[in-house]
């Protein structure tokens, strides 16, 4: 899926109550596990309109929010301005192409973005390079599904969710240790009634 899809959806993104509730629930579980301090900095990858970061804004010193969709970043910037958020740094950037433009951080979190990234090994290497030692990588995304989550007209070309063991193996090979895994949320499609579990995997950087 191109950024065009997300540019078109950006203005109405926050109207979805489920998306807001999901972000808050994931944020609460991240805070409960990693217990961030106000000295810690964080990065949200594929931030969209920043729903997850807004739910985490009081728990970190500074949060850098990156996305490759200009529409999403524009909505995010407007929200930051309206709410007078002082500790957010929004960046319109393709992290895979420009990782060197990001400073090292203590935590990286991403919600429903990773399944859009084709090369998981590559992005995992980038995450590892951007984290301080003992930093946390928090991935919330689709559990392995049958390919029906995205409607055919979206021309989705990413992953049909993730198998826990396969994703864990990739992260282990990049120098991470999995320290937490849960299924904190389930998306139910109203038109089909099908359920799609959302996992939260938290990994710790254990090697440089």
DSSP strand pairing (131-142 vs 195-205)? antiparallel
What sign does the CA torsion over 109, 115, 116, 120 have?
Answer: positive
Helix axes 164-173, 120-130, angle to 10 degrees: 50
Phi, psi of 7 (to 5 degrees): -60, -40
pLDDT greater than 80 at residue 194: yes
Comparing 88-97, 105-114, 146-155, the range with the smallest average pLDDT is: 146-155
CA distance 130 to 110: 14
Neighbours of 172 (CB within 10 A): 14
Classify residue 37 as exposed, middle or buried by CB count within 10 Å of its CB (0-12, 13-18, 19+).
exposed
pLDDT classification of 147: cutoffs 50, 70, 90:
very high
pTM: 0.92
Residue ranges covered by each domain of the chain: 3-205
Q: Which CATH class is domain 3-205?
A: alpha beta
Task: Name the band, by pLDDT with cuts 50, 70 and 90, for residue 17.
Answer: confident
- Residue identified by tokens 């038109």 is 191
Supply the Cα-derived Rg of the chain in whole angstroms. Answer: 16
Q: Quote the pLDDT of residue 1.
A: 43
């Amino acid at each position: 899926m191109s950024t065009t899809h997300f540019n078109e959806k950006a203005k109405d993104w926050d109207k979805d109550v489920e998306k807001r509730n999901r972000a808050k629930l994931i944020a609460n579980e991240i805070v409960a596990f990693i217990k961030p301090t106000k000295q810690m900095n964080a990065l949200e990858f594929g931030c969209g309109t920043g729903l997850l970061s807004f739910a985490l804004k009081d728990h970190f010193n500074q949060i850098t929010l990156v996305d490759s969709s200009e529409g999403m970043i524009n909505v995010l910037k407007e929200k930051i301005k309206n709410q007078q958020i002082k500790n957010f740094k929004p960046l319109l950037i393709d992290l895979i192409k420009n990782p060197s433009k990001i400073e090292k951080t203590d935590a990286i979190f991403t919600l429903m973005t990773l399944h859009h990234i084709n090369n998981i090994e590559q992005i995992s290497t980038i995450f590892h390079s951007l984290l301080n030692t003992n930093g946390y990588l928090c991935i919330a995304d689709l559990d392995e599904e049958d390919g029906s989550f995205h409607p055919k007209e979206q021309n989705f070309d990413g992953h049909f969710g993730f198998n826990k063991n396969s994703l864990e193996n990739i992260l282990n090979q990049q120098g991470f240790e999995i320290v937490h895994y849960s299924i904190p949320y389930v998306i139910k499609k109203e038109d089909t009634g099908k359920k799609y579990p959302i996992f939260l995997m938290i990994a710790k950087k254990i090697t440089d």
